[in-house]
Amino acid sequence: MIDVNELTKRYGKATAVDRLTFTVRPGQVTGFLGPNGAGKSTTLRLILGLHTPTAGTATVDGRPFADRPRGLRHVGALLDAADVHGGRSGYAHLRALAASNRIPRRRIDEVLAEVGLQEAARRRIGGYSLGMRQRLGIAAALLGDPPVLLFDEPLNGLDPEGVLWVRGLFRRLAAEGRTVFVSSHLMREMEHTADHLIVIGRGRLVADESLAEFASRGEGLRVTVDTPDPATLTAVVDVAGGSTVPAPDGTLTVTGLTAARVGELAFEHRILLRELTTRSASLEEAFLAQTADAVDYLAGENR
């Protein structure tokens, strides 16, 4: 559980984080979304006590993280995959971290196996690809088997297989009852990962709600459905509070309901579906619509 209360950070005149208040709960993946420069990384560093807040508080399981003498058993964090020394081997990097928190050596092999880096562990980190460094950072975050995990843009540099693996890992960690807080500036990365979203722009809270709630605001959630029985589905969707618009290609565009809900309705009423797709553009649009006034650097904007 992470509690952020009226958290504010100013660097001189610039306000990076502006009276942020939110709670990240255990047992689910919480996405931390915002455009570049919105203050996501600063917020994560404030939570970890790496930066001192100008005002407000951030606590992890009821205590400021900086008050703990050792951290790895409380919070595992991957802030930046580059926060390593290229001259050491991945194994030596993990061994030093483990030793500082008195974590047994066998645990290093466990996390290396978890992230699939056993082969490369003895090589210098300087020779790793970005994806390998992300995996090493995730291994370091898992070392202490912590109840709270923070990841700053963890999908950067991962190949499609790696992205799938990371999503599965986050879901599993959340299912184990852990608090999983993942930042991203790309809405579509969160779409298949997060249950809950905290959205910020220019350091301020924009939204704090479930993924479906967030997506259904703004432009409205759009789900593309292909069915041989559009009439029945239209009726069912109407009853459930959504609305449908037939598309030129014969499919239906449903608004006001999530893809999951449409799937449930179709199943309950034995309606065959050939396609059921959340139009990710709509999620991206919802994100853009709600953060547009909070974006620092709009392309082509006269400033």
* Binding of residue 49 to other proteins (CB under 8 A): yes
Instruction: Report how far Cα 220 is from the mean position of its chain's Cα atoms.
Output: 21
CA atoms of 146 and 142, how far apart (whole Å): 7
Using CB under 8 A, pick the residue from 127, 177, 228, 250 that binds other proteins: 177
Which residue lies nearer to other proteins by CB, 104 or 241? 104
CB of 180 to other proteins, least distance (A): 11
Nearest 5°: phi and psi at 8?
-135, 135
* Binding of residue 79 to other proteins (CB under 8 A): yes
CB of 234 to other proteins, least distance (A): 42
Whether 20 and 200 have beta carbons less than 8 Å apart is answered as: yes
* Binding of residue 195 to other proteins (CB under 8 A): no
* Binding of residue 19 to other proteins (CB under 8 A): no
Using CB under 8 A, pick the residue from 36, 55, 96, 130 that binds other proteins: 96
Which residue lies nearer to other proteins by CB, 178 or 261? 178
Choices 85-93, 180-188, 215-223, 273-281; region in contact with other proteins by CB under 8 A: 85-93
Residues 114-173 that bind other proteins (CB under 8 A): 140, 144-145, 147-148
* Binding of residue 273 to other proteins (CB under 8 A): no
* Binding of residue 87 to other proteins (CB under 8 A): yes
CB of 303 to other proteins, least distance (A): 27
CB of 94 to other proteins, least distance (A): 10
Contact set with other proteins (CB under 8 A): 1, 25-27, 45, 48-52, 61, 65-73, 75, 77, 79-80, 82-89, 92, 95-97, 99-104, 107, 110, 140, 144-145, 147-148, 176-179
